[in-house]
Amino acid sequence: MYFHHFLRPAFGVRCLFFLLLGGAMLTCQAPKQASHGSDGPRPLSLLFLGHHSEHHHAEAYMPMLASSLIKQGIQLTYTADPDDLNDENLARYDGLIVYANHDSITTSQEKALLDFVAGGKGFIPIHCASFCFRNSPSYVALVGAQFQRHDTGTFVADIVEAAHPALQGVEEFETWDETYVHHMFSDDRTVLMERVEGDHHEPWTWVKTHGKGRVFYTAYGHDERTWGHPMFQQLILSGIVWAVGDEARARWQPYADSLPTLTYSPAENIPNYEKRDPAPQLQAPLSPEASKKLTQVPPGFSLELFAAEPDIVNPIAMAWDARGRLWVIETVDYPNDKRDGDVGDDRIKICEDTDGDGRADRFTVFAEGLNVPTSLVFAHGGVVVAQAPHFLFLQDTDGDDRADVREVLMDGWGTFDTHAGPSNLRYGFDNQIWGTVGYAGFEGTVAGKARQFRQGVYRFALSGETPQVSSFELVTRTSNNTWGLGFNENFEVFASTANNTHSVYVGIPDRYYGEDQALSTPTTRESGRRPERAPILGSRKIDGHYAMHPLTQLVRQVDVFGGFTAAAGHSFYTARTFPSDYWNQSAFVCEPTGHVLHRARIEPDGAGFQEQDGWNMLASADEWFAPVAAEVGPDGQLWVLDWYNFIIQHNPTPTPERGGFQAENGKGNAYVNPLRDQTHGRIWRLVYEAGTPSDMPQLHQDDADGLVAALENENLFWRLTAQRLLVERGKTDVVANLSALVEKASPDALGLAPAAIHALWTLHGLGALQGDQSDALQVAVKALRHPSAGVRKAALQVLPLTEAATQAVLDARLTDDPDPIVRREAALALSRRSESPQVAATLRQLPDSAATDDYWLKQAYALAHRGGAGTEVTADASVGTAPQADAQVIRIKVLKGEMKYDLQHFEVEAGKPVELVFENPDFMQHNLLVLQPGSLQKVGEAADKLAADPNGAAQNYVPQLPEVLHATPLVDPQQTVTLRFTAPAKTGTYPYVCTFPGHWRIMQGDMQVVTTLSSHP
């Protein structure tokens, strides 16, 4: 499989090529490639093979090249897997770049590579590629030589064949690099450049042919000093254009000629947190057609425009109705025009393509006069809309597609920050509505109970003819602003948070731990030990990498530099139109500040999951491109909302020291900026060209058979919509058909049986599983032994809490199930059931939580042993020593929204006990490290590296260095910890600092150790 890498530009050099070889441009037809779409003008597409190593750091250096090439119509796709050297995958590309140190190549990989080049494609090995695949003499001959040894130095390689087209536009340039010496030369090379050292003339850049294909090699390229050099980039550009051959070049040239030129002008109010010199300038917006040409998609896909301004402006959320029509929220009031009442200038539009040409041509305003609505979901014949402080129920009762009912469902959602409110409403398999909320949180009474919480994932149920909230549950808390939610096809729940946690797995809802849950962050920390932060128990950070992969270097971020700082969405690919390696294992996370849509590969990991970097689905060099939502549509394609705005960042408010100018904070807690745009917006469809669109049934509540049949649709959208309509229909005449569907559904190639899962949850929603003698209940009991693990899990979740159902769970022996997720759910299910002797005996036979390394099984077993809900599980029992009566108490608080401590200096007495109370009222996590004198830079640089480590969060972003004397864990928003330690015996200035990614250069202070206190803080 291949991974998409869309990269960060270093230079915008524009060089167009009109290369005529032998006096004529060849125009013969080539075999049509799936990724090319047509034989007309198109970009060049190359696979870039790197490796997992910071030596010759391919992942870091490729952006410097790709960001320059995209503006020339050349697109690179990254992989570190040599298995991608296969006929099917290579056929997608015009050429292959290798910059890696893989020791060996298999016979099949070697054959695919040699055939690819011999068939007329380009091969561009760079630098260390000449020491790759050393087990293959054929590969060495293909490259033209093998690396033998090197020194280092600053030098200029001499051009010896200036007239060769592979050096078009190239001039000699000076750079620091490794001074390669090669051996095992082939005789068919034409040397273009050589490195001269005394009397030695080392071949440095050469070309050759292999069959119908061409090879371009250069020994340049050890590190960023060369990769970032504009003339090196020109050298590779010229080499690519020559190597791909005349036919590909003939199609590329008119495409390159048609590319837009980005234009910039000086402007005030552009934040410059990175302190770039020169400061960022304002890019002019592009038309949808021009923006599309600077936006890269995976090979085999195309980007199709569904709607754009003036028909759509500032789209922020979308959903489809049972007819497959797209509904979009437009919000021009976001972020700062938050009104005291509910009336504003925002709207919900229904967008329809009535003539089948792929473009919306009918726009109906369903509701207007809204004020910063952030999400919508269909339910009970209408739509539920998140519009803090309210959730609204809107309904059209007369069939004119305009809302004539508007009711408040609940009140209490925070409004002090418009980008921290509720979002991501979606209908769950459990027939409840799920959603997320950021740090604005909730404080109010809902479902008859007063509640208060900050960021997290929640769910609620509606009931009654006039819908009312009948139940509400905070499923799990999260670590910072939360804008993403997604379900896979087995109803596993995932989320994303804005800052450095773009993939979260919700493994065990908080209700199992007890509602009060004062568990997540220790309140006291004794010195002398590394912080072992107790996690937020219901969910866990699972992202496997730090970096996002933008296609422009002109990314403006306030923290988590180069990483995810505005992650939004976590929808899975849950249809069958895309290639099979997407099915139920790829989630899509938007990053509007980086102008990318990320592909998160979600892989099983015991009783949980782990994310792997799947690079990007979309990435743009257009600085206005800002994907904020991505969902699989009724057609099985991926639909994307493009906010299309030059200013994305919400807060903190820039100052002259941080951001480069003094800004004003607005009513929505976003800084006021006249550059915020209210005239643009786009809706895109990412289409897999070789795929078959999903079957799109016509669903009606009065067509019960059609609704049951739709539970077998290959697209989750249609299955879940049919389930919702069946449950809302409320009739049990479908129970027999649903039961038959559970019994007949068999696992597919992925081991999934989605129809059975939806049928079980539909039976549950209809109340058909109540009563120990019901036929439907017996079907659910039988499903405990279904061959699909997802069905067994669903059966555990839908069975009622009765003695008969409990006995069925015991008889199925699912605590010994081969699937660890089913074992986890079985332990949780039994922990909630009656304390019969058999249940108690089964729970006693479960492994002790200490006997497993699996995080989620450890939690489930601990809960089961302790009796389930209402029991708190202490994740870190080593904290909380008794305070010393003579300890000096220091209180430090985070300044909300400023990334600073409120205390930048304090004194302590040498050798005396200290009690440091650290409070975090901010909207993101922070920590506090006390360091050795003079070690701030060293620790900070180590923190930068730790930020990119997938295990960094588990280490609380505390570098494992002796210079770190004392440290708190990561402290969640609205939490306080106490750090107890003995002050150093040696007087001096001891810095303290926050090492959350991107913070250490700003968020710091110093602790002065003195022999006698001058005053007490």
Instruction: Flag whether 19 is in a domain.
Output: no
CATH code: domain of residue 122: 3.40.50.880
Residue 838 located in a structural domain: yes
- Say which amino acid occupies 17: F
pLDDT confidence of 877, banded at 50, 70, 90?
A: very low
Using alpha carbons, list the distances in angstroms from residue 846 to 514, 804, 831, 850, 876: 21, 21, 11, 11, 22
Residue where one domain finishes, among candidates 688, 712, 739: 688
In this structure, which amino acid lies at residue 748?
Answer: D
Highest mean pLDDT among 232-241, 837-846, 896-905: 232-241
- pLDDT at 869 > cutoff 80: no
DSSP state of 25: -
Check pLDDT > 60 for residue 444. yes
In this structure, of 597-601, 731-735, 954-958, the range with the lowest mean pLDDT score is: 954-958
Distance, in Å, from the CA atom of 102 to the CA atom of 90, rounded to the nearest integer, reads 18
Q: How many domains does the chain have?
A: 4
Residue 217 burial (CB < 10 Å; 0-12/13-18/19+)?
buried
637: nearest Cα among 581, 712, 717, 535: 717
Query: What's the pLDDT at 247?
Result: 96
Q: Is position 906 within any domain?
A: yes
> CA torsion angle for 754, 755, 761, 762 (degrees, to 10)?
150
Instruction: Look up the CATH number of the domain holding residue 935.
Output: 2.60.40.420
Identify whether the C-beta of residue 398 lies closer than 8 Å to the C-beta of residue 404: yes
On whether both 566 and 671 belong to a single domain, the answer is yes
Q: What does the DSSP assignment read for 534-562?
A: PP-TTEEE-----B---S-S----SSSTT
Query: Where does a domain end: 257, 275, 292?
Result: 257
8 in a structural domain: no
Residues 22/23/27/30 CA torsion (nearest 10 deg): 10
**pLDDT at position 641 over 50:** yes
The reply to whether 1016 falls in a domain is no
Q: Does position 926 have pLDDT exceeding 50, yes or no?
A: yes
Residues 908 and 857 in one domain: no
Count of H-run helices and E-run strands, the chain: 19, 49
Interval 432-448 mean pLDDT: 96
Specify whether 853 is located in the same domain as 915: no
Chain mean pLDDT for the chain: 90
Mind giving me the DSSP string for 168-218? TT----EEEEEEEEEES--SS-EEEEEEEETTEEEEEEEEEEETTEEEEEE
Residue 268 lies in a domain: no
Q: Which residue would you say has higher pLDDT here, 868 or 540?
A: 540
Residue-level pLDDT at 34 = 39
723 within some domain:
no
Least trusted range by pLDDT, from 434-443, 828-837, 920-929, 984-993: 828-837
CATH classification of the domain holding 568: 2.120.10.30
907 and 839 both lie in a single domain: no
* 470-499 residue pLDDT tens: 999 999 999 889 999 999 999 999 999 998
pLDDT in tens, 174-189: 999 999 999 999 999 9
Question: So what's the pLDDT on residue 599?
Answer: 98
The pLDDT-based confidence of 461 (bands split at 50, 70, 90) is very high
What percent of the chain has pLDDT above 70?
Answer: 92
Percent of the chain clearing pLDDT 90 (strictly above): 80
Let me know whether 664 and 548 are in one domain: yes
Residue 30 belongs to a domain:
no
Looking at residue 465, its pLDDT comes to 87
Tell which of 833, 868, 903 closes a domain.
Answer: 868
Residue 851: which pLDDT band, with cuts at 50, 70 and 90?
confident
The model's pLDDT over 287-306, given as tens digits with 9 standing for 90+, comes to: 999 999 999 999 999 999 99
The reply to whether 242 and 324 lie within a common domain is no
The answer to whether residues 335 and 224 belong to one domain is no
At 585 the pLDDT is: 97
What is the identity of the amino acid at 769? L
What is the token pair recorded at 867? Answer: 């009796």
Same domain, 591 and 632: yes
Q: Both 310 and 181 in a single domain? A: no
Both 253 and 313 in one domain: the answer is no
Give the pLDDT confidence score for residue 867 in this predicted structure: 60
> Which residues touch 541 (CB under 8 Å, ≥6 apart)?
479, 501, 503, 504, 953
Residues 98 and 167 in one domain: yes
Query: Which residues are registered as beta bridge partners of 126?
Result: 218
Look up the domain containing 859 and give its range: 729-868
Q: So what's the pLDDT on residue 883?
A: 61
Radius of gyration for the chain, computed over Cα atoms and rounded to the nearest angstrom: 30
The one-letter code for the residue type at 646 is F
The answer on 900 and 826 residing in a single domain is no
Its pTM stands at 0.90
Per-residue DSSP letters for 971-1009? B-TTEEEEEEEEPPSS-EEEEEE--STT-TTTSEEEEEE
